[in-house]
Amino acid sequence: MAAVIATAGLVQPATGTPAATTGTAAAPGPQAAAPDPAAAAYPLDCKGAPRAVTASAQGDLDGDGRPETVAAVRCQAGSGTPPHAIYVLTQDLTDPAGARVVATLLDTPQRQSVTELTVSDRTVSATLLGYSGPDVPRCCPDKTQLAKWRWTDGKFRQELTDSAARSV
């Protein structure tokens, strides 16, 4: 079932289910720990290179009383600026020490890097670096953009920000 949910997150990058609900919200407290981003198996093909979690943030994104973790992950390449993916993790209910990917907010084909990642007021915010065109060297992103995603009506929806992409 976790594989189906993770695959659905890949097919629809801005959707997913942050946590399975059982009809009653879990009471927040010491037992409600955010998933450890190092404990997740990410659906990122690095062709043999290691993966790196470069940023993470925690918060209750869906209001069920259990915190989720948002992680920016990239391949550790020898040069250039490898693109990031942003994943939403929830606690694996079958393995309390584990975490599972339930949504993909940003995928590597978008060729953007994450410099800041926060969760506040049930909203994921990320500062993204990108390129104005194919002639810009992959080492040197020249555009920056603020992206936001909010859990609404059972899926993540990207919110438009008041600022368009800006030059770095």
Longest dimension (CA), the chain: 53
Does the pLDDT at position 129 exceed 60?
Answer: yes
Question: Each residue of 33-47: pLDDT tens digit?
Answer: 899 999 899 999 998
Residue closest to 150 by CA, chosen among 83, 90, 84, 103:
103
Higher-confidence position of 14 and 87: 87
- Of 8-22, 133-147, 151-165, the poorest mean pLDDT is in 8-22
Buried residues in 117-137 as b, exposed as e (16+ CB within 10 A): bebeebebbbbbbbbeeeeee
Question: Each residue of 112-125: pLDDT tens digit?
Answer: 999 999 999 999 99
